[in-house]
Structure 1
Amino acid sequence: MRRFEGKVALVTAAAQGIGRAVVRRIAAEGGAVVVTDLREDSAAALAEEIGAEHALGVKVDVTARADIDAAVAAAVERFGRLDLVVNNAGGCIVNSMPEDTSAEDWHRQLDFTLVSAARCIQAAIPHLVRTRGNVVTISSVNGIAAFGNVEYAAAKAGQIAMSQNYAARYGPLGVRFNVVAPGTVRTPNWDSQPDALEKLKPMYPLGRIGEPADIAAAVAFLGSDDAAWITGHTLPVEGGVMTGPSPLDLSPPDTLHKGF
């Protein structure tokens, strides 16, 4: 398939994991890709792997609007247009119990995961209106159901609500906004926990953990003209984990029951 022939995508946090798989999938389908990542060397290496004619590596800190503006400008200067933004940056950076999370940590989590996606959309939207392009944001099943990590879940849920509202606002101008909500995916974030993925496998009716390519396939569909009449949608890609109740014990500790 060559669904991205003549089109240009910008992918955040693209040097490894899901972002890397998305870049490779779009490039394989004929698209040009701006590979953005905080790790400049890694972004440049992936762009070089794809080829200078079809890829550009750019250092981007998604918490800095100036970096995002510069990346969007570089995309348009180099390739002449921008058709797709994939908001992949974001992650769980707060590990405290929710009743102990400071306001500062809440702000850090929301800024890194939710506000960063809004920055990318704001920077790209004038160009997406011109190309009748679209945005695909990588959220999580944590943003749909209770799987723990409260602050992260709230940020991911915010991405979904934001995308729905942008879809309604910019639909009349031909710009689409959709979301992919992965379950557990085998990425380098799990490298320090070699046994954790095996322990999580029983949660998934399909019997395995997700791979970055699974998510990239969903992004490629939603970001292409095959999904031309789909907007404001959240597509869970999660091996069936949402078919039943959460396997996690989310009840508060006994000490919190006192006084309720």
Structure 2
Amino acid sequence: MQRFEGRVALVTAGAQGIGAAVVRRFAAEGGSVVITDLQEDKIGELATEIGDQAIGVRTDVTSRADVDAAVAAAVERFGRLDVVVNNAGGCIVTSVPEDTTDEDWHRQLDLTLVGASRCIQAALPHLVESRGNVVTISSVNGLAAFGNVEYSAAKAGQIAMTLNYASRYGKLGVRFNVVAPGTIRTPNWDNQLDTLEKFKALYPLGRIGEPEDIAAAVAFLASDDASWITGHTLPVEGGVLTGPGMVNLSPSGPFKKEY
């Protein structure tokens, strides 16, 4: 499929993991891609891999100047901007809630929630012109209690923000949607592979997600196949939100009968 031929996407934190999978998916479907990240070497490697369809721009989403420059670079190089994928973020606060400082809260929210809003604000004039859309990568942490209070609050905030943007700008033809991943096998887990393996038991589908699972969902929501979908949060999480996956932690397993 060439659903993005003639279209341009900007992907934050696009140099590895979920972001890189999204970049590759857009390019494979004919799109041009602006890869933004803090890791200049990885940006360059991926941009070289993609070829003329991609440029890389070092961008810190906590800097309005950086975000504005990335959007400007996209329009200067490709002449338009059709899609923004807000992927930048991360769990940067690990203390228990009662020990979290105001500074911890500010750092987490600035990166994950305010950073996404900066990107939307910078891109909006171009998205209105192209009748484009935004897909924000939130998390199941924004939908249920999985710990990491500050991170979860920021992710829930992304969902609320998306609902409001979708309502306000729908009349101008701009769509806003969210993908909420479960546990995904990204480089962040490279030093915790044993934990990642144990997490499989929480998922009814019996595996951890891959970056390509999220990229497929993003590509759908960003494409014309989803032209009548806005303000939606799509969980892509192997069934962990259904709850029954917890029975897999029982010593006897989920079934008495073998199938």
User: 2:33, 2:85 → 1: CA distance?
Assistant: 10
Deviation at 1:181, TM superposition (A): 0.0
Identify the residue that residue 75 of structure 1 maps to in structure 2. 74
User: 1:21, 1:246 → 2: CA distance?
Assistant: 27
**8 Å CA contact 2:199, 2:208 repeated in 1:** yes
1:35-184 matches, within 5 Å, as 35-51=35-51, 53-184=52-183
Identify the residue that residue 7 of structure 1 maps to in structure 2. 7
Identify the residue that residue 199 of structure 2 maps to in structure 1. 200
User: 2:37, 2:109 → 1: CA distance?
Assistant: 19
**8 Å CA contact 1:146, 1:246 repeated in 2:** no
Aligned-partner residue type, residue 29 of structure 2: E
1:162-241 matches, within 5 Å, as 162-241=161-240
Deviations 1:114-167 (A, max 9, x none): 000000000000000000000000000000001111100000000000000000
Report sequence identity in percent: 80
Identify the residue that residue 254 of structure 1 maps to in structure 2. none
User: 2:242, 2:80 → 1: CA distance?
Assistant: 41
Deviation at 1:40, TM superposition (A): 1.3
Deviation at 1:245, TM superposition (A): 7.0
Deviation at 1:246, TM superposition (A): 8.9
Secondary structure of the 1:24 match is helix
User: 2:62, 2:6 → 1: CA distance?
Assistant: 30
**8 Å CA contact 2:75, 2:81 repeated in 1:** yes
Deviations 1:205-248 (A, max 9, x none): 0000000000000000000000000000000000000001795x
Pick closer, same or farther for the CA change 1:246–1:99 going to 2, 3 Å: farther
Q: Which runs of 5+ in 2 are unaligned?
A: 247-259
**8 Å CA contact 2:239, 2:245 repeated in 1:** no
**8 Å CA contact 2:204, 2:244 repeated in 1:** no
Secondary structure of the 2:85 match is strand
Identify the residue that residue 253 of structure 2 maps to in structure 1. none
RMSD between aligned alpha carbons? Answer: 0.9
**8 Å CA contact 1:178, 1:234 repeated in 2:** yes
User: 2:204, 2:55 → 1: CA distance?
Assistant: 39
Identify the residue that residue 27 of structure 1 maps to in structure 2. 27
After superposing the two structures, state which structure 1 stretch, 38-47 or 28-37, moved more. Answer: 38-47
**8 Å CA contact 2:203, 2:245 repeated in 1:** no
User: 1:39, 1:88 → 2: CA distance?
Assistant: 14
**8 Å CA contact 1:14, 1:35 repeated in 2:** yes
User: 2:108, 2:39 → 1: CA distance?
Assistant: 20
Runs of 4 or more, structure 1, over 3 Å off, are none
Count of aligned positions: 246
User: 2:137, 2:57 → 1: CA distance?
Assistant: 20
After TM superposition, the score normalised by the length of structure 2 is 0.94
